[in-house]
Structure 1
């Protein structure tokens, strides 16, 4: 039985870049909206309450359900299919995001209700983000695109969305107010849902447990693969045996906590106390994002020729501590932007390499469930980042917290790089490395799962 059919049938056949372009486009608009909200939402809370602790509480209420649900969503993404999960959850995020400015305009938006709505946004956004990540390797296979290049392009999209989103968010908040930014965020989620639903091929994001039928198509049978908890247990058991991935996850947990503290509390408070305002937030993010795009583009082209361990550690050294420490000093905005440009360049090299290492080590049929667990663990510190930063700034002031976070970032990344398992990061080292696989292998996985 041949796996080669037409694109209209939704089954991978001849080389096509349409799936990869569709996934990247959906990622771009959804992430852009999220970055706009990253400026608008904290500023809205800060100017309406004047309380850094409440600003951190909003970030906590958004990211806690994001992390918890992501840990549990992987088997569902593998079972239902990432394409369906992506467009439905983006639509749910759009609805919850649109309710914030609408209820505020009607005078019905209390602070507890705001917390509920941001929690709903986080809960819906989590499986949507995961589903898009899971579709990238399949899209790369369909387009015969090298894995590092596909993950590098995904990193470019993420950084470009950060650049555009923060710039637009800062401008919208400065000119039209934060609620306008939140409304635009809702529109971006809705557009992402439309792209995923209409632009991607019908067979894109098939369920991994789908069995091939006699007609050459894939369809889930009445006993199509293991149940939810078995999938969850398989993913947990696999991840537990991957020491390199676990070490990377612990490091990312720490850096994510610090990055969230920076974005949701420290940077807005600095912008308010320094008098630069929300426009400076957008400008800083845009400079960092533009430099990160350059770094990601270079990584997409040359990262597969470089030593991964050196690239990742160098990227972290540039990306982390300098951003925190420069805001602790009274320096001109131009100096701050220069440091952010250097940090952004380093950021651009980290995710493409880590993404390639992750995909290589995880069997394709388990990608959703293992990614979900890994991401949930790596994001476990995010809900606490804003909450702890808000309380720390209220207690100790902004400058001591910035210095403490910068030092912690430096120590965490440096010490992690000295661990022996990080030597396995370079291609060809370590056990259990799974190289990018052909569509024939993916088809066999689906057949195995069905039996």
Structure 2
């Protein structure tokens, strides 16, 4: 029986992804330090810098999905990686020559977002071509585990690099990671074919086709709608959590930055553990039942936070909450992604994935400020309860849908999974 480790092209793909994601965490911190310390950016300007990174997903995501379905994914992946490496090399060069300003840095962040959008869209479309459908859950779980480790240790590595060599030079480390990733991806031998010219229609027609596949599909439609609601609620919770944890005891938990870092470490450990169990859960209970059950359980760890007041045990409760939540995330994510990739025709992979991803990113842009506004108007605990209510609503949408019966199809049953 073939194992995931036996798929040489997937090994290159996974190594490339792991290398670049660590570099991304370095740049995320280094850009903010460069803006705040060197360029003396205000809080509003930092917000613009961070928003510039995600704006391309909202503006261009659906159109990029059409392009990914028209052309081969591998050249896009390699080209995006090499272009990101070159773009990041320009930032320390401009800084050294005194030409780096905040508007220029924001423009670079937006360009980096465009390239990352192309990479992410092609990345999700390319994976189903590298491994058999039966291995998609394991393949996605392995990638999720890498991201979890990067999420846990990446910020620490970034902080150490920024402190040791400065933010501009730290950005060069990310440039190197993209270069390594591009070289590894270029060595993948899996053959692809661009969509024949005769099958191409107008961009808007193809865009509508991809959107219709998602929102008319009896399984994908509730999954996508529940996902948008989940991202809205989670962006509220994750925005409020940092401030609530660090606020003084009369208004929050009164913990410090080190204890907050411990919380993130617990979250990363939970994601790794959940990812390790994802394939086994999908095989035993089915992908749909795993997704629905974990989504139903996700509000429970968050309930511990508003119910906990300042005390010596607050860090224990907080760490346990995030550990359990991210175990559920690690179980759910690979099964949800594998099911979506398995039932989506190859010609629609780019459009389907970018449709869902783009609207999820839109939910983040809306949810984060809403969470902050509710917190300022009614208090942190109230805003946490509202976010938890959103998670419950997302779970209810899934539980009431046919998604609970979804299983990863084999090649023989793919034709039966059609939009209605």
Normalised to the residue count of structure 1, the TM-score between the two structures is 0.75
Match of 2:22 in 1: 32
Match of 2:275 in 1: 296
Task: Please show how residues 248-397 of structure 1 align to structure 2 within 5 Å.
Answer: 248-257=223-232, 259=234, 267=242, 276=256, 283-306=262-285, 307-314=289-296, 316-317=298-299, 325=306, 329=310, 334-335=315-316, 336-384=318-366, 392=373, 396=376
Task: Please show how residues 110-189 of structure 1 align to structure 2 within 5 Å.
Answer: 110-141=101-132, 145-189=134-178
Are 1:237 and 2:212 an aligned pair? yes
- Alpha carbons of structure 1 residues 39 and 139: separation in structure 2 relative to 1, 3 Å: same
- Alpha carbons of structure 1 residues 408 and 327: separation in structure 2 relative to 1, 3 Å: same
Are 1:207 and 2:193 an aligned pair? yes
- Alpha carbons of structure 1 residues 416 and 266: separation in structure 2 relative to 1, 3 Å: closer
Task: Please show how residues 37-76 of structure 1 align to structure 2 within 5 Å.
Answer: 37-47=27-37, 49=40, 51-76=42-67
Structure 1 residue 76 displacement after superposition: 0.9
Give the whole-Å Cα distance in 2 for the aligned partners of 1:112 and 1:234: 37
1:292–1:344 CA contact under 8 A, matched in 2 = yes
Structure 1 residue 331 displacement after superposition: 5.9
Structure 1 residue 25 displacement after superposition: 1.8
Give the whole-Å Cα distance in 2 for the aligned partners of 1:379 and 1:186: 25
Give the whole-Å Cα distance in 2 for the aligned partners of 1:180 and 1:135: 32
Give the whole-Å Cα distance in 1 for the aligned partners of 2:389 and 2:62: 28
1:38–1:264 CA contact under 8 A, matched in 2 = no
Cα deviation digits, residues 20-79 of structure 1 (max 9, x gap) = 222222221222222333433345445564743333222211101133222211121111
1:44–1:178 CA contact under 8 A, matched in 2 = yes
Tell me the number of residue pairs that the alignment of Structure 1 and Structure 2 aligns: 400
Cα deviation digits, residues 89-118 of structure 1 (max 9, x gap) = 122222333333333343322221121111
Gaps of at least 5 residues in structure 1 are 1-14, 210-219, 443-451
Give the whole-Å Cα distance in 1 for the aligned partners of 2:313 and 2:27: 27
2:223–2:403 CA contact under 8 A, matched in 1 = no
2:26–2:170 CA contact under 8 A, matched in 1 = yes
Structure 1 residue 358 displacement after superposition: 1.7
Give the whole-Å Cα distance in 1 for the aligned partners of 2:308 and 2:81: 35
- Alpha carbons of structure 1 residues 348 and 229: separation in structure 2 relative to 1, 3 Å: same
- Alpha carbons of structure 1 residues 124 and 363: separation in structure 2 relative to 1, 3 Å: same
Normalised to the residue count of structure 2, the TM-score between the two structures is 0.80
Structure 1 residue 88 displacement after superposition: 0.7
2:140–2:337 CA contact under 8 A, matched in 1 = yes
Structure 1 residue 241 displacement after superposition: 0.5
Are 1:417 and 2:403 an aligned pair? no
Structure 1 residue 297 displacement after superposition: 0.9
Structure 1 residue 263 displacement after superposition: 6.5
Structure 1 residue 266 displacement after superposition: 6.5
Q: 2:386 aligns with which of 408, 420, 431?
A: 408
Gaps of at least 5 residues in structure 2 are 249-253, 416-420
Cα deviation digits, residues 339-372 of structure 1 (max 9, x gap) = 4323322221221122133224422321111111
2:236–2:387 CA contact under 8 A, matched in 1 = no
1:315–1:347 CA contact under 8 A, matched in 2 = no
Cα deviation digits, residues 260-317 of structure 1 (max 9, x gap) = 567689648966997955x666654333222201111111222332222443314532
Give the whole-Å Cα distance in 2 for the aligned partners of 1:377 and 1:182: 29
Give the whole-Å Cα distance in 1 for the aligned partners of 2:34 and 2:369: 17
- Alpha carbons of structure 1 residues 187 and 62: separation in structure 2 relative to 1, 3 Å: same
1:40–1:169 CA contact under 8 A, matched in 2 = yes
2:232–2:390 CA contact under 8 A, matched in 1 = no
Structure 1 residue 186 displacement after superposition: 2.4
Are 1:85 and 2:85 an aligned pair? no
